[in-house]
């Protein structure tokens, strides 16, 4: 436990892969950390998470349990199962509110992820996480070579349909009457991807397994899975209150190290990047925390006196350059490899 449980070097908002990974790295760098976990997860309805070497196919709740067990051996990491309701900058750090209690920290990491906006389709919740998905990297393999539908208006849907050709050639793009650009329509035709512009009325099937799609023109199409591309929004509402630059749909606007426009506030995981998988979330969480360590070298160090966090500015050595955070090269290489895998032939 922390000497003063309401004061820490860093507060992590989010108890998913990115937040827990960040907490682990911070603790191993001798930082005192508080992690707030609201219990609201993007993959709450998923039966398994994939593309994580050594744990492929593990249930998300079991993954989080293992992560917490590994964190529990470190005395100065505390996990609080509460939602952060407010955060404000102070002259020296930040004040964070959760369940009526105020906590203080010098650094704040937003790792609370994003929330997907489900398409306005009758009964879609019954299928979400079983045969209706967002991410083909996570769930495409389970539906390989099957008849798959793609739901997305305009160019977003077309791009997702083209990407899914890596897993199946039997694809139907449902645009809800918003057609893609002429260039993308040409690509869809070249790759034999059918387009249905009628509105989707309902999904039909049993036990979460999709069997067919019903359209408003009376047509039905047999499909075994549906992948959709719609809007997302940050799960946490702290960004605007902190004054961070962000977009309503994707969330934080930050640099390659996860640093945001407000000094001392970082982002990791889905809240900070386009690529949204548990694996990339963990890598981004680790990368964000190594960037934190680097920024501590660059701008100052954390001292603890009388349970009060104070920042002592250090003179920067003119010969000390900012180095890429450890793992950056590996992450960039993985992204290039994944990108190359899904290029349309």
pLDDT value for 252:
54
Percentage with pLDDT > 90 across the chain: 50
Mean pLDDT of 225-245: 79
| Dihedral (CA of 28, 330, 287, 48) sign | negative
Angle subtended at Cα 290 by Cα 3 and Cα 280, rounded to the nearest 5 degrees:
110
Residue where a domain terminates, one of 162, 197, 228: 228
What pLDDT sits at residue 247? 61
Using pLDDT thresholds of 50, 70 and 90, give the confidence band for residue 237.
Answer: confident
Q: Which residue has the tokens 């640093």?
A: 259
Q: Which residue has the higher pLDDT, 288 or 8?
A: 8
104 and 238 belong to one structural domain:
yes
User: With contact defined as beta carbons under 8 Å apart, do 26 and 289 qualify?
Assistant: yes
User: Of 228, 258, 278, which marks where a domain is finished?
Assistant: 228
Residue 287 lies in a domain: yes
Are residues 187 and 198 located together in one domain of the fold? yes
Residue 278 sits in the same domain as residue 222: no
Which position has the higher pLDDT, 21 or 267?
A: 21
Q: Does 333 share its domain with 198?
A: no
**Among 107-116, 268-277, 322-331, which is the least confidently predicted range?**
322-331
Give residue 5's pLDDT band: very low, low, confident or very high (50, 70, 90). Answer: low
Q: Which among 313, 223, 224 is positioned nearest to 263, based on CA atoms?
A: 313
Predicted confidence (pLDDT) per residue in 51-104, tens digit = 888 889 999 899 999 999 999 999 889 999 999 999 999 999 999 999 999 999
Given this model, what pLDDT does residue 279 score? 43
| Residue 341: both structure tokens together | 């895998």
Tokens, residue 308 = 């009060």
> Between these two residues, 271 and 38, which has the higher pLDDT value?
38
With H, G, I as helix, E, B as strand and everything else as coil, classify residue 126.
Answer: helix
Is 102 in the same domain as 250? yes
Co-location of 23 and 159 in the same domain: no
pLDDT value at 292 more than 70: no
Does residue 2 lie within any of the structural domains?
no
Split at pLDDT 50, 70, 90, the class of 256 is low
- Answer with the one of 174, 202, 228 that is the final residue of a domain: 228
- Exposure letters 151-162 (e unless 16+ CB within 10 A, then b): bbbebbbbbbbb
Residues 16 and 269: beta-carbon distance below 8 Å: yes
Residue 182 domain flag: yes
In a domain, 170, yes or no: yes
Q: Indicate if 91 and 133 belong to the same structural domain.
A: no
Rounded Cα distance between 173 and 88, Å, is 44
With respect to residue 279, please indicate whether it lies within any of the assigned structural domains.
yes
Q: What's the whole-number average pLDDT of the chain?
A: 78
Q: What is the pLDDT of residues 98-129, one digit of tens each?
A: 999 999 999 999 888 888 888 999 889 999 99
* 329 and 195 fall within a common domain: no
Q: Is there a domain that residue 1 lies in?
A: no
Residues 237 and 324 reside in one and the same domain: yes
Q: Which residue range forms the structural domain that includes residue 198?
A: 118-228
CATH number at residue 268: 3.50.50.60
Is a pLDDT exceeding 90 seen at residue 219? yes
Q: For 332, list phi and psi in degrees, rounded to 5.
A: -65, -40
Could you tell me the two tokens for 43? 């993959």
Residues 154-189: tens digit of each pLDDT: 999 999 999 999 999 999 999 988 889 999 999 999
- Tell me, yes or no, whether 189 and 238 share the same domain: no
* Domain tally, the chain: 2
**Tokens in use for 270?**
């889905």
Co-location of 216 and 239 in the same domain: no
274 and 179 belong to one structural domain? no
């Amino acid at each position: 436990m922390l000497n003063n449980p309401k004061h820490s070097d860093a507060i992590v908002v989010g108890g998913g892969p990115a937040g827990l990974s960040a907490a682990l790295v911070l603790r191993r760098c001798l930082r005192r950390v508080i992690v707030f976990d609201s219990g609201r997860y993007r993959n709450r309805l998923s039966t398994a998470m994939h593309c994580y070497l050594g744990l492929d196919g593990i249930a998300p709740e079991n993954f989080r349990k293992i992560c917490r067990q590994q964190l529990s051996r470190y005395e100065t990491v505390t996990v609080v199962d509460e939602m952060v309701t407010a955060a404000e900058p102070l002259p020296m750090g930040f004040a964070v509110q959760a369940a009526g209690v105020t906590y203080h920290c010098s650094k704040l990491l937003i790792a609370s992820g994003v929330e997907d906006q489900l398409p306005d389709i009758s009964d879609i919740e019954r299928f979400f996480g079983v045969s209706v998905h967002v991410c083909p990297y996570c769930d495409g393999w389970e539906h390989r070579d099957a008849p798959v539908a793609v739901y997305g208006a305009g160019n977003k849907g077309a791009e997702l349909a083209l990407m899914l050709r890596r897993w199946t050639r039997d694809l139907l793009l449902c645009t809800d009457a918003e057609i893609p650009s002429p260039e993308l329509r040409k690509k869809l035709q070249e790759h034999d991807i059918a387009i249905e512009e009628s509105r989707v009325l309902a999904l039909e099937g049993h036990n979460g397994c999709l069997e067919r799609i019903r359209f408003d023109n009376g047509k039905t199409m047999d499909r075994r899975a549906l992948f959709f591309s719609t809007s997302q929004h940050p799960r946490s509402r702290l960004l605007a209150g902190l004054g961070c630059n962000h977009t309503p749909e994707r969330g934080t606007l930050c640099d390659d190290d996860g640093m945001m426009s407000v000094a001392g506030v970082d982002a990791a995981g889905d809240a900070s990047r386009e690529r949204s998988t548990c694996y990339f979330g963990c890598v981004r969480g680790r990368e964000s925390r190594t960037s934190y360590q680097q920024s501590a070298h660059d701008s100052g160090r954390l001292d603890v006196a009388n349970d009060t966090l104070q920042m002592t500015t250090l003179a920067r050595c003119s010969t000390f350059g900012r180095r890429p955070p450890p793992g950056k090269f590996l992450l960039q290489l993985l992204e290039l490899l994944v990108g190359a895998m899904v290029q349309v032939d």
